[in-house]
Amino acid sequence: MSKQCNRCGTAKPLSMYRKDRTKRMGVENICRQCRLDATVRGVPELQEAAIEALNNWRSAEPGHIFARAW
Ligand SMILES: [Zn+2]
């Protein structure tokens, strides 16, 4: 079973997408490669994921940095 990536438009197998149980297909709308690329470039729809990653990274200071930045 494959799914078309919303970003690059390429049909890729579901294993090439990150799992997301809140999505209809059970995976994210964009492929792993695009997700990585978009996260690095700060695409707005991926800010939530980027924030999550940053929060995990800076878990020693919960809320401190983002209270200022957002
Ligand atoms: Zn893609």
| Per-residue model confidence as pLDDT tens for the chain (70 residues) | 899 999 999 999 999 999 999 998 899 999 999 988 877 777 676 667 767 777 776 655 555 555 554 4
Spacing, Cα 36 to ligand 1 middle (Å): 10
Spacing, Cα 17 to ligand 1 middle (Å): 9
**Residues of the domain holding 47:** 2-69
Spacing, Cα 59 to ligand 1 middle (Å): 29
Instruction: Specify the pLDDT at position 62.
Output: 52
- Cβ contact 6:31 at 8 Å: no
Domains in the chain: how many in total?
1
Spacing, Cα 64 to ligand 1 middle (Å): 33
Instruction: Specify the pLDDT at position 52.
Output: 77
- Cβ contact 28:18 at 8 Å: yes
Instruction: Specify the pLDDT at position 44.
Output: 72
Number of neighbours of residue 48 by Cβ within 10 angstroms: 9
